[in-house]
Structure 1
Amino acid sequence: MNAPVDLRGDCANCFALCCVALPFAKSADFAADKAGGTPCRNLRPDDTCGVHAGLRREGYSGCTVFDCFGAGQKVSQVTFAGRSWRGAPDVARPMFEVFPVMRQLHELLWYLGEAAVLPAARTLHPELRRARDEIERLTLLGPGELARLDVASHRGPVGELLARTSELVRAGVGGKRRDHRGADLMGARLRGADLRGASLRGAYLIGADLRGADLRLADVLGADFRDADVSGADLTGAVFLTQPQVAAARGDARTRLPDRVDRPAHWAR
């Protein structure tokens, strides 16, 4: 299932909030330091990126793996009714404060939207839809209320509901399922591993060799796939897989992905 349009980043209807509101430090992901609330040096006056076509070549690979889950256009066009930080200085600070809050809420909406259509979790669908409606209501709050919102108090109950969803979905695999929740698997040699139905929640898979691995129905919520090699791996049906996770990994034309995520342009062909 493809993600709803409002949970996909729409840069044309956003005031480049990810390029201004968020800070980043000079590293392998970013070629320079940037303070939060300060426009990136590559940002043009029309809110487009001057090096967008060559972000990785210019040292900004971190930009290619970021996804706001549609929070940017929501803040720009709904919360602030189309008023840009450029033309209204009084809008800038509250807009930059609200953006990261909205992104967290939209990420929760992504997970809840996926869970609410999984056949194996049909007994939880009513609860999942109610939770999604509540989070959606929060996204419509005014700037002041959003800035003061305690997202963690909402993330906790949603996380428990998603965990119950995961158990129902992964039960369909049968047999003993691997539990790697929060595990340190950095650089792990997992080539060809059978990880069907495994729990990889919050696992550190940085630089792991997952070539040809079978991750069907594995729960990967919050797993860190940075520089993990998923060439030829099967991720179809992987539970709670997001676009940023896929973009952070290294894959190829043989990597099998769920319909709801896109194959990154920088992957090997």
Structure 2
Amino acid sequence: MPHSPAPASPDSTALRGDCGSCFGLCCVALPFAKSADFAMNKPSGTPCRNLGDDFRCGIHEKLRPSGFSGCTVYDCFGAGQQVSQVTFGGVSWREAPETARQMYEVFPVMRQLHELLRYLTEALERDAARSLHGELRKVLSRVTALTEGTADALETLDVAAVRAEVNPLLLKTSALVRSRAGTKPKSRRGADLLGARLRSAKLRGADLRGALLIAADLSGADLSLADMIGADLRDADLSGADLTDALFLTQPQLNAARGDAATRIPPGLERPGHWSA
């Protein structure tokens, strides 16, 4: 008897922000405070002063020198265009002001769901986790269905419960992938490694889930096959580091770090423009 075709994983481009198809939601819905990352205070629901009538950023090409490096780190994982074009049918908060409040509430919910889709999609691409692919596809299908729900359903969704359903599978995936490291994987899960000196550290297959690595020196470190989910890499030095096949590493994490031409990154991710040559 022929098998039914497995549900397709989301296209990778659908899980990356497409500003041209979004109503500038990250520039309106999200708050930020004046700091090293942002040049001003902005409350939630108030458009950034740099947001144009076309929903484009007026200083996109010079965000870092203008004091908005925080914007260059952020990625919505495609939630912006999903909310703008699917949930609200392509009608913006400017065209229908009565939808603005709910649109701003739904956006961060969608962002979390899309982040989960990003991880589930990667898990399905890992041959080491083949034994879990059936379960992963089922959960992927359920989370995808949630992203296609109504604005009312999304606004009241218990995202924590969804994460609780997905997380055990991601943990199992991590264990299977990291077991191929060839060495006993180190656990640094949730570790406070703020400013740590980890130059040339042997962290192949390490569990760095949720580790605080702000301003850590990871230059020349071997991070291949390491689980990077939730690791805080802000201002971490990845110069010459090997992130080959690093697990659950995202573009925002790379954007927040420092690196150079010798940094080895997984396929599908881009070398940030602010990294040194």
**Does 2:101 correspond to 1:93?**
yes
- Output one character per residue of 1:52-75: Cα deviation in whole Å (capped at 9) or x when no partner: 111000100000000000000000
Q: Which residue does the alignment assign to 2:35? A: 27
Q: Which residue does the alignment assign to 1:243? A: 251
> What is the correspondence of 1:145-160 to structure 2 with a 5 Å cutoff?
145-160=153-168
Q: Which residue does the alignment assign to 1:194? A: 202
Contact 1:31 1:60 in 2 (8 A): yes
Alpha-carbon distance, 1:175 to partner: 3.0
Q: Which residue does the alignment assign to 1:39? A: 47
2:25 partner amino acid: L
Q: Which residue does the alignment assign to 1:204? A: 212
Q: Using structure 1 for the length normalisation, give the TM-score.
A: 0.98
> What is the correspondence of 1:2-17 to structure 2 with a 5 Å cutoff?
4-17=12-25
1:137 partner amino acid: A
- Output one character per residue of 1:195-216: Cα deviation in whole Å (capped at 9) or x when no partner: 0000000000000000000000
Q: Separation in 1 of the partners of 2:75 and 2:113?
A: 13
Q: Which residue does the alignment assign to 1:261? A: 269
Segments of structure 2 that go 5 or more residues without pairing to the other structure are 1-9
SS at match of 2:275: coil
Q: Which residue does the alignment assign to 1:181? A: 189
Q: Separation in 2 of the partners of 1:33 and 1:7?
A: 28
The RMSD of aligned alpha carbons is 1.0
Contact 1:20 1:39 in 2 (8 A): yes
Q: How many residues are treated as equivalent by the alignment?
A: 268
Return 175-184 or 145-154, whichever deviates more. 175-184
Percent identity of equivalent pairs: 64
Alpha-carbon distance, 1:174 to partner: 2.8
1:201 partner amino acid: R
**Does 2:170 correspond to 1:166?**
no
1:167 partner amino acid: A
2:55 partner amino acid: D
SS at match of 1:116: helix
Q: Which residue does the alignment assign to 2:68? A: 60
Alpha-carbon distance, 1:3 to partner: 6.1
Q: Which residue does the alignment assign to 1:111? A: 119
Q: Separation in 2 of the partners of 1:250 and 1:175?
A: 27
1:150 partner amino acid: D
- Output one character per residue of 1:130-164: Cα deviation in whole Å (capped at 9) or x when no partner: 11110000001100110000000010121111000
Q: Which residue does the alignment assign to 1:73? A: 81
SS at match of 1:175: coil
**Does 2:91 correspond to 1:83?**
yes
- Output one character per residue of 1:79-133: Cα deviation in whole Å (capped at 9) or x when no partner: 0000000111111111111000000000000000000110000000111111111
Q: Which residue does the alignment assign to 2:6? A: none
List structure 1 segments (4+ residues) > 3 angstroms apart after TM superposition. Answer: none
Alpha-carbon distance, 1:267 to partner: 0.8
Contact 1:83 1:91 in 2 (8 A): no
Q: Separation in 1 of the partners of 2:88 and 2:34?
A: 31
Q: Separation in 2 of the partners of 1:268 and 1:174?
A: 32
Q: Separation in 2 of the partners of 1:54 and 1:174?
A: 44
Alpha-carbon distance, 1:260 to partner: 1.9
- Output one character per residue of 1:2-39: Cα deviation in whole Å (capped at 9) or x when no partner: 96121011111000000000000111100000000100
**Does 2:233 correspond to 1:225?**
yes
1:107 partner amino acid: E
Contact 1:19 1:43 in 2 (8 A): yes
SS at match of 1:203: coil
Q: Separation in 1 of the partners of 2:239 and 2:91?
A: 43
SS at match of 2:125: coil
